[in-house]
Amino acid sequence: MRGLSHGGVSEDFLRTMWLQRLPSQTQAVLATSSEALDKLAVMADKIQAISAPQSTVAAVQSFPELIDLQQQISTLSTAVSNLQKKRFQHRSRSSSRGRYKAESAANTSEWCYYHRRFGPKARNCRQPCTFKQRRQGNSPAGH
C-alpha cells in the first residue's frame, strides 16, 4: 500500500486502511499497539500463524415455504402411489373378466375374433374358425 501511494498518503491513513482489511481477531490485538506499521505487519503475520483457521458453520434454517412444499410432495407421492395400485388392481381384474382362457395358444391363432375374445359365449363366428364347443361332443359352435 505504501508503494502504491508513492508517499502521497500519511502513515496514519495507511495504518487505518491496512487494519480494516485484517481479520477482526487480528484487528482487536493490533489496534491497541502504538508500534510502527512495519512492526505491526510482523506481529500480524505471527498472529495469523498461531491462530487456528476459523471454520464457520452456517445454521440451517427451516423455511415455512419449504416445509409446505415437502408436505405437498409427500401428499402427491402418496396419491400417485394409490392411483397406480388401483390401476394395477383394475387392470388385473378386468383382464380376466369376460374373456375365455384358451387351452393353448396354438388353438387361439386359428380362432376367429369372436371366439378368441368371448370363447364359448361368442354369438358370432367368422370363417375360417376352428373353435369347437366343449359341450356335447365338441360339435362346432356357430357353424
Q: Which alpha helices (DSSP H) does the chain contain, by range?
A: 2-5, 11-20, 24-30, 37-50, 64-96, 105-108, 113-118
Q: What is the pLDDT of residues 33-87, one digit of tens each?
A: 888 888 988 988 888 888 766 555 555 566 777 788 889 999 999 999 999 888 8
In a domain, 74, yes or no: no
In a domain, 132, yes or no: yes
CA atoms of 50 and 31, how far apart (whole Å)? 18
- Domain residues for the domain of 23 are 2-50
In a domain, 42, yes or no: yes
pTM over 0.75: no
In a domain, 69, yes or no: no
Q: What is the pLDDT of residues 97-137, one digit of tens each?
A: 445 454 445 556 788 888 888 888 888 888 888 887 544 34
Cell of 88: 394395477
51: Cβ contacts below 8 Å, ≥ 6 apart? 25, 26
In a domain, 109, yes or no: yes
CA atoms of 141 and 56, how far apart (whole Å)? 85
How many domains does one find in the chain?
2
In a domain, 94, yes or no: no
